[in-house]
Amino acid sequence: MSPITRQSLLKASESFCTAFASQSPPSEILTQHFTQNSDDIIVLEHGLPRLAPFLGREYKGKDGFLEYFKTIGEQLSYKDMRFSDYIVDAEVRKVSVRGEAVFTNKKTGQSWDEVFRYVLEFDEDARIQKYEVWADSGAAYLASRGELS
């Protein structure tokens, strides 16, 4: 097996981000972009769990991945998602990427412009095994209460 290159990680990250931005179904994203070893999959959106039900806990495995996207999909929608500023570290098989989108709370209809950060960790086949998100959990919380101004 050849070593993972910076270019292969960048290509895999861009492909994942394109699929996400185009709102591909979670099951498709899972099969096309995540590790085949389901037990190694970890999804974590950082934040206090009391602010939103999808924050602050690790979703593990294929079922956890699907649960995370079901939970977040029940709460939020998004549009105009785009990505930039890819930072690739081939030695540790990680990519950090900046994202931007307009998010809307489905219950209240309140929307906000958000800048967020993904850190993607890859397996030896350049497939994602850990997906971490840092986002504006305060805006998500306020929107869920109808208190965005």
Matching residue, tokens 């990427």: 97
How far the first Cα of the chain sits from its last, in Å, is 53
- What per-residue confidence (pLDDT) applies to 52? 94
Measured from the Cβ of residue 22, the count of other Cβ atoms closer than 10 Å reads 8
DSSP tag of 34 = B
Instruction: Give the SS3 label for residue 66.
Output: helix
pLDDT tens over the chain, length 149 residues: 457 999 999 999 999 999 999 999 999 999 999 999 989 999 999 999 999 999 999 999 999 999 999 999 999 999 999 999 999 999 999 999 999 999 999 999 999 999 999 999 999 999 999 999 999 999 999 999 999 97
